[in-house]
A and B are shown apart, each in its own frame.
Chain A
Amino acid sequence: MIKINGSSYEWKEISLFSALETLGFDPARIAVERNGEVVPRAQYKDTMLRDGDVLEVVRFVGGG
């Protein structure tokens, strides 16, 4: 089980990049925390999610 923003997913062998794409996140406008550590954008494709991972994805929206 992989938890992303409080929802659980039964994915096996999925990269962080694919998971984000599947959930409709734009990789250019987010920050991702995985098990308490922020994942650099350059590592999204090489980061394989594992059973028990807990992720928080924060979207950046315009305005400031």
Chain B
Amino acid sequence: MSGPTRQELRAALVARQGERRTRLLEAATVAVCGLGGLGSAVALMLARSGVGRLLLFDFDEVDISNLHRQQYLPGQVGQTKFDALTHNLRLLMLGTEVGGQAVRLTEDNILPLLSPADVVIECFDDADAKAMLVDAVLSKLPTVPVIAASGMAGLGDGNEIVTRRLGRRLWVCGDGASDVSDQGTLYCPRVQLCAAHQALTAVRLLCEAEQ
């Protein structure tokens, strides 16, 4: 099987988005915290956008119940999400460097693990963990922006998913209300809408389209 080379893929990206933006994205390190429906989609979107380095964090393994919504394949059930997504990112051949580890992020390890990141994306599913990560990044990493998600469960109108900015360094994507414990479940398209808001916000920040 022969496909385009790494150099041909980069040239095709530069032809679309220009040398300047391609370089800004290549120079960036983005941490994706949580590799479920949000995080697995965010990571693939950022890799396709040309982000140079992704730091992936999730302690969990791929389960059969993940396959309808998350960016994994049936043969990856039982692998750590970290290993499976690292493999899937490499298949894209976009030259994305992948770091991070299969670990649970806590207040104690956030500083060493996330300090190399230019942008942190919060993709957890647990509400307490979401708030903890946002607070820890804003408190402990004095310059790093954080893009969080809140409210993407159920089958509500997709137009309710929005991106809000709070202060200088926090963006929150979602409808702000649809809790999975009330809605019962998550649907792939609505979760991906929210993931796309997060990935777009990161690309806008890295390309200096948003200050």
Contact = CB atoms under 8 A, between A and B. Distances in A.
A54 to B, nearest CB: 12
Interface string A34-64: 0011101110000000000000101111111
A60 B170 CA distance: 13
B126 interface: yes
A23 interface: no
B39 interface: yes
A53 B186 CA distance: 37
Contact of B151 (A37, A41, A42, A61): A61
B138 interface: yes
Given A29-B131, A64-B149, A64-B152, A58 B166 contact: yes
Nearest to A58: B172
Contacts of A29: 127-128, 130-131
B153 A62 contact: yes
A1 interface: no
A30 B180 CA distance: 16
Which range contains the number of B residues in contact with the other chain? Answer: 35 or more
Contacts of A59: 150, 176-177
B147 to A, nearest CB: 12
B179 A40 contact: no
B110 to A, nearest CB: 14
Given A38-B170, A41-B135, A42-B139, A62 B177 contact: no
B176 A62 contact: no
Contact of B178 (A36, A37, A63): A63
Nearest to B175: A61
Nearest to B123: A64
A47 B134 CA distance: 19
A10 to B, nearest CB: 25
B156 to A, nearest CB: 12
B38 interface: yes
Contacts of B152: 63-64
Interface string B59-77: 0000000000000000000
| Interface core residue of A38, A40, A58, A61 (most chain B CB under 10 Å) | A61
Question: Which 9 A-B pairs have CB atoms at the shortest separation, nearest pair first?
Answer: A61-B179, A63-B180, A38-B167, A64-B125, A33-B166, A63-B153, A60-B130, A60-B127, A64-B38
Interface of B: 34, 36-39, 123-128, 130-132, 134-135, 138-139, 148-153, 164, 166-170, 172, 176-181, 183, 186, 191
